[in-house]
Amino acid sequence: MNSASATQRVKAALARIAEAERPEAWIAVRGAADLLAEAARIDAAVAAGAVLPLAGTVFAAKDNIDVAGLATTAGAPSFAYTPGRDATGVARLRAAGAVCLGKTNLDQFATGLVGTRSPFGAVRAAADPELISGGSSSGSAVVVALGIADFALGTDTAGSGRVPAALNGLVGVKATLGLVPVDGVVPACASYDCLTVFAPDLALAAKAMGVMTGPSAADPASRSWPADTVLAAPPAPRVAIPRPADLAPLDPDFRPLWEAAVDRCEATGAETIELDVQPLLQAALLLYEGALVAERFAAFGAHLDADDTDPTVAAIVRGALKFSGADLVADQQRLRSAQQHAASLLDGFDALLLPTAPLHPTLAEVAADPIGVNARMGTYTNFVNLLDMAAVAIPAGTAGTKGFGVSLIVPAFHDQVAIDLAARILDTQTPLYAPAATELVVFGAHMTGMPLNHQLTGLGARYAGEVRTAPAYRMFALDTKPPKPFVIRADDGASFPGERWQLSPAALGRFLAALPAPMSLGNVELEDGTWATGFVANQAAGQDITAAGGWRAHRR
Protein backbone atom coordinates (compact mmCIF):
# COMPACT_ATOMS: atom_id res chain seq x y z
CA MET A 1 0.00 0.00 0.00
CA ASN A 2 2.80 2.37 0.95
CA SER A 3 6.20 2.52 -0.73
CA ALA A 4 7.90 2.84 2.67
CA SER A 5 8.47 -0.17 4.90
CA ALA A 6 6.44 -0.38 8.08
CA THR A 7 9.56 0.41 10.08
CA GLN A 8 10.34 3.51 8.03
CA ARG A 9 6.74 4.70 8.29
CA VAL A 10 6.63 4.28 12.08
CA LYS A 11 9.87 6.23 12.49
CA ALA A 12 8.51 9.02 10.29
CA ALA A 13 5.28 9.15 12.29
CA LEU A 14 7.10 9.38 15.61
CA ALA A 15 9.24 12.20 14.26
CA ARG A 16 6.15 14.01 12.99
CA ILE A 17 4.43 13.70 16.40
CA ALA A 18 7.35 15.51 18.00
CA GLU A 19 7.50 18.10 15.24
CA ALA A 20 3.76 18.88 15.19
CA GLU A 21 3.55 19.66 18.91
CA ARG A 22 -0.15 18.89 19.20
CA PRO A 23 -0.29 16.85 22.42
CA GLU A 24 -3.98 17.60 22.91
CA ALA A 25 -4.79 15.43 19.89
CA TRP A 26 -3.55 12.33 21.70
CA ILE A 27 -4.58 10.49 24.83
CA ALA A 28 -1.97 7.73 24.49
CA VAL A 29 0.86 7.01 22.06
CA ARG A 30 2.42 3.56 22.08
CA GLY A 31 6.08 3.33 23.01
CA ALA A 32 8.63 3.46 20.21
CA ALA A 33 10.06 0.02 21.02
CA ASP A 34 6.61 -1.57 20.88
CA LEU A 35 5.73 0.16 17.59
CA LEU A 36 9.02 -0.72 15.94
CA ALA A 37 8.77 -4.35 17.03
CA GLU A 38 5.32 -4.63 15.40
CA ALA A 39 6.60 -2.88 12.28
CA ALA A 40 9.51 -5.30 12.05
CA ARG A 41 7.12 -8.26 12.17
CA ILE A 42 5.10 -6.77 9.33
CA ASP A 43 8.20 -6.11 7.22
CA ALA A 44 9.35 -9.70 7.79
CA ALA A 45 5.93 -11.05 6.77
CA VAL A 46 5.94 -8.98 3.57
CA ALA A 47 9.47 -10.13 2.77
CA ALA A 48 8.30 -13.73 3.19
CA GLY A 49 5.55 -13.18 0.61
CA ALA A 50 2.56 -12.27 2.77
CA VAL A 51 -0.05 -10.10 1.05
CA LEU A 52 -0.92 -7.32 3.49
CA PRO A 53 -2.97 -4.61 1.75
CA LEU A 54 -2.23 -1.95 4.38
CA ALA A 55 1.44 -2.76 5.01
CA GLY A 56 3.50 0.43 5.28
CA THR A 57 0.67 2.49 6.79
CA VAL A 58 0.07 3.78 10.31
CA PHE A 59 -3.25 4.73 11.85
CA ALA A 60 -4.73 6.11 15.05
CA ALA A 61 -7.87 5.05 16.93
CA LYS A 62 -10.32 7.31 18.72
CA ASP A 63 -10.15 6.52 22.43
CA ASN A 64 -13.58 4.97 22.62
CA ILE A 65 -12.31 2.10 20.44
CA ASP A 66 -10.47 -0.81 22.04
CA VAL A 67 -6.82 -1.44 21.23
CA ALA A 68 -5.44 -4.38 23.21
CA GLY A 69 -3.13 -3.29 26.02
CA LEU A 70 -4.02 0.41 25.81
CA ALA A 71 -6.51 1.94 28.23
CA THR A 72 -9.85 2.94 26.74
CA THR A 73 -11.03 6.14 28.43
CA ALA A 74 -13.82 7.47 26.16
CA GLY A 75 -12.43 10.86 27.21
CA ALA A 76 -13.02 10.23 30.93
CA PRO A 77 -10.09 8.95 33.03
CA SER A 78 -12.49 7.67 35.69
CA PHE A 79 -14.10 5.39 33.10
CA ALA A 80 -10.82 3.82 31.92
CA TYR A 81 -10.35 0.08 31.44
CA THR A 82 -7.66 -1.89 29.64
CA PRO A 83 -9.04 -4.32 27.03
CA GLY A 84 -7.42 -7.66 26.41
CA ARG A 85 -8.36 -7.71 22.72
CA ASP A 86 -8.72 -5.28 19.84
CA ALA A 87 -12.09 -4.15 18.60
CA THR A 88 -12.89 -6.22 15.50
CA GLY A 89 -12.32 -3.22 13.20
CA VAL A 90 -8.89 -2.57 14.73
CA ALA A 91 -7.96 -6.26 14.61
CA ARG A 92 -8.79 -6.45 10.90
CA LEU A 93 -6.68 -3.38 10.12
CA ARG A 94 -3.70 -4.74 12.03
CA ALA A 95 -4.07 -8.12 10.34
CA ALA A 96 -3.89 -6.25 7.01
CA GLY A 97 -0.53 -4.72 7.98
CA ALA A 98 -1.47 -1.32 9.41
CA VAL A 99 0.29 -0.25 12.64
CA CYS A 100 -1.78 1.49 15.32
CA LEU A 101 0.14 4.46 16.74
CA GLY A 102 -2.16 5.06 19.69
CA LYS A 103 -5.40 6.57 20.96
CA THR A 104 -6.75 10.02 20.11
CA ASN A 105 -8.72 12.62 22.04
CA LEU A 106 -12.46 13.05 21.64
CA ASP A 107 -15.53 14.81 22.95
CA GLN A 108 -16.19 12.86 26.11
CA PHE A 109 -18.26 9.71 25.59
CA ALA A 110 -18.49 10.72 21.90
CA THR A 111 -21.09 13.34 22.85
CA GLY A 112 -20.42 16.46 20.82
CA LEU A 113 -19.42 17.80 17.41
CA VAL A 114 -16.91 20.42 18.58
CA GLY A 115 -13.84 18.61 19.98
CA THR A 116 -13.67 20.75 23.13
CA ARG A 117 -15.51 18.57 25.66
CA SER A 118 -12.58 16.63 27.08
CA PRO A 119 -10.55 16.74 30.31
CA PHE A 120 -7.54 15.98 28.10
CA GLY A 121 -7.93 19.41 26.48
CA ALA A 122 -9.70 21.04 23.56
CA VAL A 123 -8.42 19.80 20.21
CA ARG A 124 -7.59 22.64 17.83
CA ALA A 125 -8.06 22.59 14.07
CA ALA A 126 -5.03 21.45 12.11
CA ALA A 127 -4.83 24.64 10.04
CA ASP A 128 -5.66 27.24 12.74
CA PRO A 129 -5.27 26.76 16.51
CA GLU A 130 -7.95 29.39 17.17
CA LEU A 131 -10.60 27.25 15.46
CA ILE A 132 -12.22 24.05 16.71
CA SER A 133 -11.28 20.70 15.21
CA GLY A 134 -14.82 19.37 15.17
CA GLY A 135 -15.87 16.32 17.11
CA SER A 136 -16.42 14.02 18.60
CA SER A 137 -13.62 12.33 16.63
CA SER A 138 -11.43 15.40 17.06
CA GLY A 139 -7.97 13.97 17.61
CA SER A 140 -8.38 11.35 14.88
CA ALA A 141 -9.06 13.97 12.22
CA VAL A 142 -6.27 16.27 13.35
CA VAL A 143 -3.51 13.63 13.43
CA VAL A 144 -4.37 12.72 9.82
CA ALA A 145 -4.58 16.35 8.72
CA LEU A 146 -1.18 17.01 10.30
CA GLY A 147 0.37 14.14 8.35
CA ILE A 148 1.13 12.03 11.41
CA ALA A 149 -1.17 9.10 10.60
CA ASP A 150 -2.09 7.83 7.15
CA PHE A 151 -5.66 7.34 8.30
CA ALA A 152 -7.56 7.25 11.57
CA LEU A 153 -10.65 5.69 13.06
CA GLY A 154 -13.53 7.72 14.36
CA THR A 155 -17.03 6.88 15.43
CA ASP A 156 -20.19 8.49 14.13
CA THR A 157 -23.61 8.70 15.71
CA ALA A 158 -24.65 12.22 14.74
CA GLY A 159 -21.86 13.29 12.41
CA SER A 160 -18.65 12.70 14.34
CA GLY A 161 -17.03 10.87 11.44
CA ARG A 162 -17.91 13.64 8.99
CA VAL A 163 -17.86 17.07 10.68
CA PRO A 164 -14.14 16.84 11.66
CA ALA A 165 -13.38 15.76 8.09
CA ALA A 166 -14.99 18.93 6.74
CA LEU A 167 -13.20 21.22 9.18
CA ASN A 168 -9.78 19.68 8.53
CA GLY A 169 -9.83 19.09 4.76
CA LEU A 170 -10.25 15.31 4.85
CA VAL A 171 -12.40 12.54 3.45
CA GLY A 172 -14.69 10.92 6.00
CA VAL A 173 -16.52 7.67 5.17
CA LYS A 174 -19.53 6.59 7.23
CA ALA A 175 -20.82 3.28 5.94
CA THR A 176 -24.28 1.81 6.29
CA LEU A 177 -25.05 0.92 9.90
CA GLY A 178 -23.67 -2.50 10.80
CA LEU A 179 -21.41 -3.07 7.81
CA VAL A 180 -18.41 -2.44 10.07
CA PRO A 181 -18.80 -4.22 13.42
CA VAL A 182 -18.79 -2.01 16.52
CA ASP A 183 -17.85 -4.58 19.15
CA GLY A 184 -15.06 -3.13 21.23
CA VAL A 185 -16.48 0.38 20.79
CA VAL A 186 -17.84 2.22 23.85
CA PRO A 187 -21.47 2.88 22.89
CA ALA A 188 -22.84 6.39 22.63
CA CYS A 189 -26.24 5.43 21.16
CA ALA A 190 -25.76 1.76 20.45
CA SER A 191 -28.53 1.56 17.85
CA TYR A 192 -26.94 4.28 15.69
CA ASP A 193 -23.17 4.06 16.27
CA CYS A 194 -20.75 3.51 13.37
CA LEU A 195 -17.01 3.01 13.07
CA THR A 196 -15.62 5.45 10.47
CA VAL A 197 -12.42 6.37 8.64
CA PHE A 198 -10.66 9.70 8.10
CA ALA A 199 -8.09 9.85 5.31
CA PRO A 200 -6.48 12.47 3.05
CA ASP A 201 -7.88 10.74 -0.05
CA LEU A 202 -10.87 8.66 -1.02
CA ALA A 203 -8.90 5.61 -2.16
CA LEU A 204 -7.24 5.00 1.20
CA ALA A 205 -10.47 5.68 3.11
CA ALA A 206 -12.35 3.12 1.00
CA LYS A 207 -9.53 0.56 1.32
CA ALA A 208 -9.47 0.83 5.11
CA MET A 209 -13.26 0.63 5.28
CA GLY A 210 -13.21 -2.42 3.04
CA VAL A 211 -10.74 -4.19 5.30
CA MET A 212 -12.97 -3.59 8.34
CA THR A 213 -16.27 -4.45 6.65
CA GLY A 214 -18.02 -7.76 7.25
CA PRO A 215 -20.21 -9.29 9.94
CA SER A 216 -18.75 -10.38 13.25
CA ALA A 217 -20.06 -12.92 15.73
CA ALA A 218 -19.00 -10.46 18.43
CA ASP A 219 -21.46 -7.83 17.17
CA PRO A 220 -25.04 -9.11 16.90
CA ALA A 221 -26.06 -5.92 15.08
CA SER A 222 -23.48 -6.34 12.32
CA ARG A 223 -24.88 -6.79 8.80
CA SER A 224 -23.86 -8.38 5.52
CA TRP A 225 -24.15 -6.85 2.07
CA PRO A 226 -27.53 -7.82 0.54
CA ALA A 227 -27.86 -9.85 -2.64
CA ASP A 228 -29.03 -6.78 -4.56
CA THR A 229 -26.19 -4.43 -3.57
CA VAL A 230 -25.77 -1.53 -5.98
CA LEU A 231 -22.18 -1.62 -7.28
CA ALA A 232 -21.97 1.70 -9.14
CA ALA A 233 -23.50 5.11 -9.55
CA PRO A 234 -25.34 5.60 -12.85
CA PRO A 235 -23.67 7.64 -15.62
CA ALA A 236 -26.17 10.51 -15.24
CA PRO A 237 -27.37 10.46 -11.62
CA ARG A 238 -30.18 12.52 -10.13
CA VAL A 239 -28.87 14.33 -7.06
CA ALA A 240 -31.12 16.16 -4.61
CA ILE A 241 -29.85 19.45 -3.18
CA PRO A 242 -31.42 21.68 -0.52
CA ARG A 243 -33.51 24.71 -1.39
CA PRO A 244 -32.00 28.15 -0.68
CA ALA A 245 -34.24 28.39 2.40
CA ASP A 246 -32.69 25.19 3.77
CA LEU A 247 -29.26 26.82 3.59
CA ALA A 248 -30.13 29.57 6.07
CA PRO A 249 -27.81 28.09 8.77
CA LEU A 250 -24.82 28.20 6.37
CA ASP A 251 -22.00 30.65 7.15
CA PRO A 252 -22.15 33.33 4.41
CA ASP A 253 -18.43 32.73 3.80
CA PHE A 254 -19.30 29.15 2.85
CA ARG A 255 -22.04 30.01 0.36
CA PRO A 256 -19.68 30.46 -2.64
CA LEU A 257 -17.95 27.19 -1.72
CA TRP A 258 -21.29 25.40 -1.63
CA GLU A 259 -22.30 26.80 -5.02
CA ALA A 260 -18.96 25.75 -6.47
CA ALA A 261 -19.46 22.21 -5.13
CA VAL A 262 -22.87 22.00 -6.77
CA ASP A 263 -21.34 23.24 -10.03
CA ARG A 264 -18.67 20.53 -9.84
CA CYS A 265 -21.34 17.91 -9.21
CA GLU A 266 -23.29 19.06 -12.28
CA ALA A 267 -20.10 19.12 -14.37
CA THR A 268 -19.75 15.37 -13.79
CA GLY A 269 -23.03 14.78 -15.63
CA ALA A 270 -25.34 14.77 -12.60
CA GLU A 271 -28.72 16.45 -12.66
CA THR A 272 -29.31 18.42 -9.45
CA ILE A 273 -32.86 19.05 -8.27
CA GLU A 274 -33.84 21.23 -5.31
CA LEU A 275 -35.72 19.36 -2.59
CA ASP A 276 -37.38 20.39 0.67
CA VAL A 277 -35.07 18.64 3.15
CA GLN A 278 -36.78 20.00 6.27
CA PRO A 279 -38.44 16.63 7.05
CA LEU A 280 -34.97 15.09 7.27
CA LEU A 281 -33.59 17.90 9.42
CA GLN A 282 -36.61 17.72 11.72
CA ALA A 283 -36.21 13.97 12.18
CA ALA A 284 -32.71 14.66 13.49
CA LEU A 285 -34.17 16.41 16.54
CA LEU A 286 -35.23 13.03 17.92
CA LEU A 287 -31.60 12.15 18.62
CA TYR A 288 -31.01 14.71 21.40
CA GLU A 289 -34.33 16.44 22.05
CA GLY A 290 -36.40 13.27 22.23
CA ALA A 291 -36.39 10.14 24.33
CA LEU A 292 -33.73 8.48 22.17
CA VAL A 293 -31.17 10.24 24.37
CA ALA A 294 -31.98 7.44 26.83
CA GLU A 295 -29.54 5.29 24.84
CA ARG A 296 -26.71 7.58 25.96
CA PHE A 297 -27.84 7.38 29.57
CA ALA A 298 -27.97 3.60 29.32
CA ALA A 299 -24.44 3.54 27.90
CA PHE A 300 -22.62 5.74 30.45
CA GLY A 301 -25.14 7.37 32.76
CA ALA A 302 -23.57 5.63 35.76
CA HIS A 303 -20.42 7.74 35.24
CA LEU A 304 -22.03 11.17 35.06
CA ASP A 305 -21.33 11.96 38.73
CA ALA A 306 -17.57 11.47 38.37
CA ASP A 307 -15.40 14.52 39.03
CA ASP A 308 -13.96 14.43 35.50
CA THR A 309 -17.32 14.40 33.69
CA ASP A 310 -17.71 17.29 31.28
CA PRO A 311 -20.61 19.43 32.57
CA THR A 312 -22.09 19.95 29.11
CA VAL A 313 -22.06 16.23 28.39
CA ALA A 314 -23.64 15.53 31.78
CA ALA A 315 -26.39 18.08 31.22
CA ILE A 316 -27.26 16.64 27.82
CA VAL A 317 -27.38 13.03 28.96
CA ARG A 318 -29.26 13.74 32.20
CA GLY A 319 -31.99 15.08 29.97
CA ALA A 320 -32.96 11.44 29.47
CA LEU A 321 -34.28 11.29 33.02
CA LYS A 322 -37.34 13.36 32.14
CA PHE A 323 -38.56 10.70 29.69
CA SER A 324 -40.45 7.51 30.48
CA GLY A 325 -40.26 4.13 28.82
CA ALA A 326 -43.50 4.97 27.05
CA ASP A 327 -41.89 8.15 25.71
CA LEU A 328 -39.04 6.11 24.28
CA VAL A 329 -41.42 3.71 22.53
CA ALA A 330 -43.39 6.64 21.12
CA ASP A 331 -40.23 8.27 19.74
CA GLN A 332 -39.10 4.97 18.24
CA GLN A 333 -42.42 4.83 16.41
CA ARG A 334 -41.97 8.43 15.25
CA LEU A 335 -38.56 7.47 13.94
CA ARG A 336 -40.00 4.56 11.95
CA SER A 337 -42.47 6.96 10.36
CA ALA A 338 -39.63 9.37 9.61
CA GLN A 339 -37.64 6.58 7.96
CA GLN A 340 -40.59 5.70 5.75
CA HIS A 341 -41.16 9.35 4.85
CA ALA A 342 -37.48 9.86 4.03
CA ALA A 343 -37.49 6.87 1.68
CA SER A 344 -40.52 8.32 -0.11
CA LEU A 345 -39.00 11.80 -0.22
CA LEU A 346 -35.77 10.58 -1.81
CA ASP A 347 -37.36 8.05 -4.14
CA GLY A 348 -36.06 8.61 -7.67
CA PHE A 349 -32.84 10.25 -6.48
CA ASP A 350 -29.45 8.55 -6.47
CA ALA A 351 -28.02 10.72 -3.69
CA LEU A 352 -28.53 13.81 -1.57
CA LEU A 353 -25.81 16.48 -1.56
CA LEU A 354 -25.58 18.66 1.56
CA PRO A 355 -23.03 20.86 3.29
CA THR A 356 -21.33 18.73 5.93
CA ALA A 357 -21.22 21.45 8.59
CA PRO A 358 -22.74 24.93 8.31
CA LEU A 359 -19.94 26.77 10.11
CA HIS A 360 -16.41 26.50 11.50
CA PRO A 361 -16.43 28.33 14.83
CA THR A 362 -13.61 29.45 17.07
CA LEU A 363 -12.83 27.91 20.43
CA ALA A 364 -14.05 31.13 22.04
CA GLU A 365 -17.41 30.95 20.26
CA VAL A 366 -17.97 27.41 21.50
CA ALA A 367 -16.98 28.36 25.05
CA ALA A 368 -19.53 31.18 24.99
CA ASP A 369 -22.38 28.94 23.81
CA PRO A 370 -21.34 25.29 24.11
CA ILE A 371 -24.75 23.71 23.51
CA GLY A 372 -26.09 26.15 20.90
CA VAL A 373 -23.02 26.10 18.66
CA ASN A 374 -22.71 22.33 18.92
CA ALA A 375 -26.35 21.91 17.87
CA ARG A 376 -25.77 24.02 14.78
CA MET A 377 -22.77 21.88 13.82
CA GLY A 378 -25.03 18.84 13.37
CA THR A 379 -27.67 20.56 11.24
CA TYR A 380 -26.93 18.51 8.13
CA THR A 381 -25.53 15.33 9.72
CA ASN A 382 -27.68 14.31 12.69
CA PHE A 383 -30.41 12.56 10.69
CA VAL A 384 -28.24 10.20 8.64
CA ASN A 385 -27.80 7.30 11.06
CA LEU A 386 -31.30 7.69 12.47
CA LEU A 387 -32.70 7.17 8.97
CA ASP A 388 -30.31 4.27 8.18
CA MET A 389 -28.35 6.03 5.47
CA ALA A 390 -24.68 6.09 4.44
CA ALA A 391 -22.53 9.14 3.72
CA VAL A 392 -19.19 10.21 2.29
CA ALA A 393 -17.84 13.59 3.38
CA ILE A 394 -15.33 15.30 1.10
CA PRO A 395 -13.41 18.59 1.33
CA ALA A 396 -14.84 21.49 -0.67
CA GLY A 397 -12.45 24.36 -0.02
CA THR A 398 -11.66 26.91 2.67
CA ALA A 399 -12.80 30.39 3.61
CA GLY A 400 -9.59 31.79 5.04
CA THR A 401 -8.59 29.09 7.51
CA LYS A 402 -12.14 27.82 8.01
CA GLY A 403 -12.67 24.38 6.47
CA PHE A 404 -15.74 23.52 4.41
CA GLY A 405 -16.96 20.20 3.07
CA VAL A 406 -19.94 18.55 1.46
CA SER A 407 -21.48 15.14 1.97
CA LEU A 408 -23.07 12.67 -0.43
CA ILE A 409 -25.83 10.83 1.40
CA VAL A 410 -27.45 7.64 0.10
CA PRO A 411 -29.84 4.92 1.29
CA ALA A 412 -28.55 1.92 3.20
CA PHE A 413 -26.24 -0.34 1.19
CA HIS A 414 -25.86 2.23 -1.61
CA ASP A 415 -22.46 3.16 -0.18
CA GLN A 416 -20.69 2.61 -3.50
CA VAL A 417 -22.93 5.18 -5.18
CA ALA A 418 -21.79 7.82 -2.69
CA ILE A 419 -18.15 6.85 -3.20
CA ASP A 420 -18.48 6.96 -6.99
CA LEU A 421 -20.12 10.39 -6.95
CA ALA A 422 -17.54 11.69 -4.48
CA ALA A 423 -14.75 10.47 -6.77
CA ARG A 424 -16.31 12.24 -9.74
CA ILE A 425 -16.57 15.53 -7.84
CA LEU A 426 -12.99 15.19 -6.60
CA ASP A 427 -11.87 14.12 -10.10
CA THR A 428 -10.00 11.16 -8.72
CA GLN A 429 -9.83 7.42 -9.26
CA THR A 430 -12.97 5.63 -8.10
CA PRO A 431 -12.20 2.94 -5.51
CA LEU A 432 -14.38 -0.14 -5.09
CA TYR A 433 -15.84 -0.61 -1.63
CA ALA A 434 -18.95 -2.73 -2.23
CA PRO A 435 -18.31 -6.42 -2.98
CA ALA A 436 -18.19 -7.40 -6.65
CA ALA A 437 -19.82 -10.82 -6.36
CA THR A 438 -20.54 -11.72 -10.00
CA GLU A 439 -18.99 -10.85 -13.37
CA LEU A 440 -20.61 -10.70 -16.80
CA VAL A 441 -18.87 -10.19 -20.15
CA VAL A 442 -20.84 -8.53 -22.94
CA PHE A 443 -19.95 -8.29 -26.62
CA GLY A 444 -22.87 -6.41 -28.16
CA ALA A 445 -25.82 -4.16 -27.45
CA HIS A 446 -25.06 -4.00 -23.72
CA MET A 447 -21.61 -2.44 -24.13
CA THR A 448 -20.92 1.17 -23.17
CA GLY A 449 -22.66 3.58 -25.51
CA MET A 450 -24.84 0.83 -26.99
CA PRO A 451 -28.66 0.94 -26.78
CA LEU A 452 -29.06 -1.69 -24.04
CA ASN A 453 -26.25 -0.53 -21.76
CA HIS A 454 -28.87 1.11 -19.55
CA GLN A 455 -30.10 -2.36 -18.58
CA LEU A 456 -26.76 -2.92 -16.85
CA THR A 457 -26.34 0.53 -15.32
CA GLY A 458 -29.97 0.45 -14.18
CA LEU A 459 -29.17 -2.67 -12.16
CA GLY A 460 -26.22 -0.96 -10.47
CA ALA A 461 -23.64 -2.85 -12.53
CA ARG A 462 -20.05 -1.64 -12.60
CA TYR A 463 -17.80 -1.40 -15.67
CA ALA A 464 -14.61 -3.38 -15.07
CA GLY A 465 -12.61 -3.04 -18.31
CA GLU A 466 -12.21 -4.38 -21.83
CA VAL A 467 -11.89 -8.08 -22.72
CA ARG A 468 -11.60 -10.30 -25.79
CA THR A 469 -12.86 -13.82 -26.35
CA ALA A 470 -10.50 -16.62 -27.18
CA PRO A 471 -10.31 -17.16 -31.01
CA ALA A 472 -12.87 -19.93 -30.75
CA TYR A 473 -16.26 -18.30 -31.39
CA ARG A 474 -18.58 -17.20 -34.12
CA MET A 475 -20.91 -14.23 -33.62
CA PHE A 476 -24.53 -14.11 -34.75
CA ALA A 477 -26.91 -11.13 -34.84
CA LEU A 478 -30.56 -11.52 -33.92
CA ASP A 479 -33.18 -9.42 -35.69
CA THR A 480 -34.61 -7.98 -32.47
CA LYS A 481 -35.39 -4.42 -31.44
CA PRO A 482 -32.75 -3.30 -30.86
CA PRO A 483 -30.57 -5.90 -32.63
CA LYS A 484 -28.33 -7.92 -30.35
CA PRO A 485 -25.65 -10.59 -30.82
CA PHE A 486 -24.51 -13.77 -29.11
CA VAL A 487 -21.49 -16.01 -29.58
CA ILE A 488 -21.32 -19.76 -30.18
CA ARG A 489 -18.23 -21.91 -29.86
CA ALA A 490 -16.83 -23.16 -33.17
CA ASP A 491 -13.70 -24.80 -34.55
CA ASP A 492 -13.38 -22.07 -37.20
CA GLY A 493 -14.00 -19.24 -34.73
CA ALA A 494 -12.51 -15.80 -34.20
CA SER A 495 -11.80 -13.44 -31.28
CA PHE A 496 -14.21 -10.60 -30.44
CA PRO A 497 -13.81 -7.46 -28.29
CA GLY A 498 -16.14 -6.91 -25.36
CA GLU A 499 -16.47 -5.51 -21.84
CA ARG A 500 -16.41 -6.94 -18.34
CA TRP A 501 -19.12 -5.82 -15.88
CA GLN A 502 -19.63 -6.59 -12.20
CA LEU A 503 -23.13 -7.21 -10.82
CA SER A 504 -24.79 -8.31 -7.63
CA PRO A 505 -26.21 -11.85 -7.67
CA ALA A 506 -29.79 -10.53 -7.64
CA ALA A 507 -29.06 -8.21 -10.57
CA LEU A 508 -27.63 -11.07 -12.60
CA GLY A 509 -30.74 -13.14 -11.88
CA ARG A 510 -33.04 -10.35 -13.11
CA PHE A 511 -30.85 -9.95 -16.17
CA LEU A 512 -31.07 -13.66 -17.01
CA ALA A 513 -34.83 -13.71 -16.61
CA ALA A 514 -35.22 -11.04 -19.31
CA LEU A 515 -33.13 -12.78 -22.02
CA PRO A 516 -34.98 -13.77 -25.20
CA ALA A 517 -34.51 -17.21 -26.78
CA PRO A 518 -32.21 -18.62 -28.03
CA MET A 519 -29.86 -16.52 -25.89
CA SER A 520 -28.76 -17.64 -22.46
CA LEU A 521 -25.91 -17.03 -20.08
CA GLY A 522 -23.04 -19.49 -20.15
CA ASN A 523 -19.28 -19.78 -19.92
CA VAL A 524 -17.20 -17.85 -22.46
CA GLU A 525 -13.46 -18.45 -22.80
CA LEU A 526 -11.37 -15.26 -22.87
CA GLU A 527 -8.10 -14.72 -24.71
CA ASP A 528 -6.08 -15.06 -21.50
CA GLY A 529 -7.44 -18.59 -20.97
CA THR A 530 -9.87 -17.68 -18.17
CA TRP A 531 -13.62 -18.22 -18.38
CA ALA A 532 -16.42 -15.76 -17.70
CA THR A 533 -20.21 -15.59 -17.88
CA GLY A 534 -21.55 -14.16 -21.14
CA PHE A 535 -24.25 -14.39 -23.81
CA VAL A 536 -24.15 -17.73 -25.60
CA ALA A 537 -26.45 -20.10 -27.46
CA ASN A 538 -26.42 -23.83 -28.15
CA GLN A 539 -27.24 -23.43 -31.81
CA ALA A 540 -26.76 -20.89 -34.56
CA ALA A 541 -29.53 -18.40 -35.25
CA GLY A 542 -29.84 -15.13 -37.08
CA GLN A 543 -27.10 -13.65 -39.26
CA ASP A 544 -23.50 -14.84 -39.01
CA ILE A 545 -21.45 -11.62 -38.57
CA THR A 546 -18.14 -13.21 -37.59
CA ALA A 547 -16.31 -11.58 -40.49
CA ALA A 548 -17.09 -8.09 -39.12
CA GLY A 549 -14.73 -8.70 -36.20
CA GLY A 550 -17.10 -7.54 -33.46
CA TRP A 551 -20.41 -5.88 -32.72
CA ARG A 552 -19.27 -2.25 -32.93
CA ALA A 553 -17.62 -2.92 -36.30
CA HIS A 554 -20.75 -4.70 -37.54
CA ARG A 555 -23.01 -1.81 -36.50
CA ARG A 556 -20.72 0.69 -38.26
**pLDDT tens, position by position, 494-503:** 999 999 999 9
At 486 the pLDDT is 87
At 513 the pLDDT is 82
Report residue 429: phi and psi, to 5°.
-60, 140
Nearest-angstrom CA–CA distance, 138 and 307: 22
Q: Is the pTM of this model over 0.85?
A: yes
Cross-strand bridge partners of residue 406 = 355, 394
Nearest-angstrom CA–CA distance, 534 and 133: 51
Report residue 409: phi and psi, to 5°.
-115, 130
**Is it the case that residue 136 has pLDDT exceeding 50?**
yes
Q: Is 216 a catalytic residue?
A: no
Give me the mean pLDDT over the 97-102 stretch: 98
In the chain, domain spans: 6-426, 438-555
Fold of 438-555: Hypothetical upf0131 protein ytfp (3.10.490)
At 2 the pLDDT is 57
**Is it the case that residue 289 has pLDDT exceeding 80?**
yes
Nearest-angstrom CA–CA distance, 274 and 199: 30
Give me the mean pLDDT over the 474-493 stretch: 90
Q: Is 490 helix (H, G, I), strand (E, B) or coil?
A: coil
Nearest-angstrom CA–CA distance, 268 and 243: 21
**Is it the case that residue 1 has pLDDT exceeding 60?**
no
Q: Where does the pLDDT of residue 202 fall: very low under 50, low under 70, confident under 90, or very high at 90 and above?
A: very high
H-helix or E-strand containing 467? strand 462-468
Q: Comparing 128-132, 288-292, 327-331, which segment has the lowest mean pLDDT?
A: 288-292
Q: Is 160 a catalytic residue?
A: yes
| Whole-number average pLDDT of the chain | 95
- The catalytically annotated residue of 133, 136, 138, 140 is 136
Angstrom distances, CA of residue 533 to CA of 438, 503, 530:
9, 11, 11
Nearest-angstrom CA–CA distance, 389 and 378: 15
**Is it the case that residue 531 has pLDDT exceeding 50?**
yes
Nearest-angstrom CA–CA distance, 221 and 224: 10
Look at residues 544, 455, 505 and name the one whose alpha carbon lies nearest to residue 229: 505
Asked, as a colleague might, if the bond just before 136 is cis with ω within 30 of 0, I would say yes
Q: Is 62 a catalytic residue?
A: yes
Residue 30: CB partners within 8 Å, gap ≥ 6? 70, 100, 101, 102
Q: Comparing 3-7, 169-173, 408-412, 544-548, which segment has the lowest mean pLDDT?
A: 3-7
**Is it the case that residue 512 has pLDDT exceeding 50?**
yes
Q: Comparing 171-180, 250-259, 315-324, 434-443, which segment has the lowest mean pLDDT?
A: 434-443
Q: Does domain 6-426 have CATH number 3.40.50.300?
A: no
**Is it the case that residue 518 has pLDDT exceeding 80?**
no
At 511 the pLDDT is 83
Look at residues 240, 113, 233, 221 and name the one whose alpha carbon lies nearest to residue 176: 221
Nearest-angstrom CA–CA distance, 458 and 475: 26
Q: Where does the pLDDT of residue 437 fall: very low under 50, low under 70, confident under 90, or very high at 90 and above?
A: confident
Q: Where does the pLDDT of residue 537 fall: very low under 50, low under 70, confident under 90, or very high at 90 and above?
A: confident
Greater model confidence, 539 or 255: 255
In tens, the pLDDT along 355-390 reads 999 999 999 999 999 999 999 999 999 999 999 999
Instruction: Bin 43: left if φ > 0, else alpha if -120 < ψ < 50, else beta.
Output: alpha
At 288 the pLDDT is 87
Give me the mean pLDDT over the 225-233 stretch: 95
Measured distance between the N- and C-terminal CA atoms of the chain, rounded to whole angstroms: 44
- The catalytically annotated residue of 62, 174, 207, 484 is 62
- Tell me which DSSP letter residue 246 carries: G
**Is it the case that residue 79 has pLDDT exceeding 50?**
yes
265 and 418 Cβ atoms separated by less than 8 Å: no
- The catalytically annotated residue of 118, 160, 222, 407 is 160
Nearest-angstrom CA–CA distance, 468 and 458: 24
